[in-house]
Structure 1
Amino acid sequence: MSDIKFSRDETDRIVGKIKAHFNDELDQEIGGFEAEFLIEFFAKEIGPYFYNRGLADAQTLFSEKLEEAGYLVQELEKPTI
């Protein structure tokens, strides 16, 4: 898996959310630099867990839909009696 990269706009929005969370929930202020450092940490160390969970969820959905499609194909079969 390659490194997770965010656009400048995405990074700015995430930084805003981190700063608001620290202020609202922890009653602490965090600077933009510190918030970006935290983003990089989470992307590198925790991001793969979310990525892998997303892949597993996609695989499960794909398998379910493929099984469903199999049933739909079976319903198209013509009687051979």
Structure 2
Amino acid sequence: MKSLKKEEKEYMIARIQEYFELERDESIGELAADQMLDYMVKEIGPFLYNKGIYDARQMLEQKVMNIDEDLLSLERPAGRPSR
């Protein structure tokens, strides 16, 4: 998996700290939040990544179907071939 940009990681760490403060009434430090993020990326990340791949595949399949329909609509009626 491609590494997170520093700004993205800092944002996520802050969100984890905020979650613990608001939802669990606990304060956790930056190191603990960073370790939580690393754990989630390692253990949960693949599921989310695979879901993204699945969603992208579904979208592409729909677009290919639309292109196929568009191409078929361009066909012109043709008479019977001569023998």
User: What letter corresponds to residue 10 of structure 1 in structure 2?
Assistant: E
RMSD of aligned Cα (Å):
1.0
Identical-residue share of aligned pairs (%) = 28
The equivalent of 2:77 in structure 1 is 79
Structure showing greater radius of gyration is 2
Aligned length: 79
Query: Which sections of structure 2, spanning at least 5 residues, go unmatched?
Result: none
CA distance in 1, matches of 2:39, 2:3: 12
CA distance in 2, matches of 1:7, 1:62: 28
Higher relative contact order (CA closer than 8 Å, sequence separation 6+): 1
Relative to the length of structure 2, the TM-score reads 0.90
Query: Which sections of structure 1, spanning at least 5 residues, go unmatched?
Result: none
Relative to the length of structure 1, the TM-score reads 0.92
The equivalent of 1:39 in structure 2 is 37
